[in-house]
Amino acid sequence: MSPGDNVAFVIVRGVATGHYILLAAQAFVLALVIAHEVFMLRAVRAALGNETEVATEQSVLNVFIESQIPTVALFLLMAAPWLTPDQVLVAPAVLLYFLMIMLSTLRLSPVITLFTGVLSAGGYLSVMLYTGIRSQPGQFP
């Protein structure tokens, strides 16, 4: 299944179930992520063309944004009626954290990898705390 198929599925599901606000939020987040990645691609190409490195501030901002994409995905899943809050905590979207941390090692900087790990852990912790606040008393063992 390609990313285009996933986007088409999300659109069809949103229209079919009548969750237009959730569909708009998902489309907005997707547009922001795509815009950010295009911006970073241009920055990397410019740095390669000038035989320089991407600015440290841009790199840190990129790590911050990319490490929080799974957090936003989990919050969007929590807003959807398809999963309960405890199911969101173990949804396949959680695996995106591991992917982001593994990809951060390609930067060959232990500090950046540690920063990505800490940000990812903080993002998952925020989802977990929000789930705990939102859950009904006695819902969890």
Examine residue 36 and state whether it is found in any structural domain, yes or no: yes
pLDDT for the residue 3: 64
Examine residue 94 and state whether it is found in any structural domain, yes or no: yes
Examine residue 139 and state whether it is found in any structural domain, yes or no: no
At residue 138, the 3 state secondary structure works out as: coil
Examine residue 141 and state whether it is found in any structural domain, yes or no: no
Examine residue 140 and state whether it is found in any structural domain, yes or no: no
Question: Cα separations (Å) of 123 from 13, 42, 69, 82, 138?
Answer: 27, 27, 9, 22, 25
Q: Which of 26-35, 55-64, 106-115, 118-127 has the highest mean pLDDT?
A: 118-127
Task: Evaluate if residue 121 carries a pLDDT over 60.
Answer: yes
Better pLDDT: 138 or 41 = 41
**Closest to 59 (Cα-Cα) out of 138, 112, 20, 117:** 112
**Domains in the chain, number:** 1
Task: Evaluate if residue 134 carries a pLDDT over 60.
Answer: yes
Examine residue 53 and state whether it is found in any structural domain, yes or no: yes
Examine residue 56 and state whether it is found in any structural domain, yes or no: yes
State the residue range of the domain holding 103. 3-134
pLDDT for the residue 44: 93
Examine residue 91 and state whether it is found in any structural domain, yes or no: yes
